[in-house]
Amino acid sequence: MTTAALALVQPVPHFPGPNLVLFVVFFIVGTLGWLVATALGFARARAFGASTRWFALSALCMLIFHLYLVVIAWLGMTETDADKLLALGSFIILFPALGALCAVIGFVRLTDPRR
């Protein structure tokens, strides 16, 4: 069976009303939080050094991840070709992985302020 046929057989998941509202609120708060973290990180990178820039890049990766989820959800509602949607969705873990890598580099480059 093809992926499209398997996708048609699966039932469509539905959120109960209160859970959907809670999900949307947390998603919006998370997106705005990463936007603020990105803006503050890049604004303060010059004063606090290179490690802050890496943390800002990490926040930017998470912001892109949130926007990527919106694109995947929109395509899931409008796209009829399931293979195209799954091909785009296969890269969903890319931005959190890049964000984690940037955070690790930021921690490595973080210097001890007491020295």
Q: How far is CA 20 from CA 11, 23, 77, in A?
A: 18, 5, 16
Looking up tokens 């899931």 gives 76
Residues 41, 60: Cα–Cα separation, whole Å: 9
d(CA 55, CA 70): 23
pLDDT 10s digits, 17-48: 788 888 889 999 999 999 999 999 999 988 88
Domain coordinates in residue numbering, the chain: 17-109
The reported pTM is 0.76
pLDDT digits (tens, 9 = 90+) for 65-98: 999 998 888 888 888 888 888 888 888 899 999 9
**Largest separation between any pair of C-alpha atoms in the chain:** 63
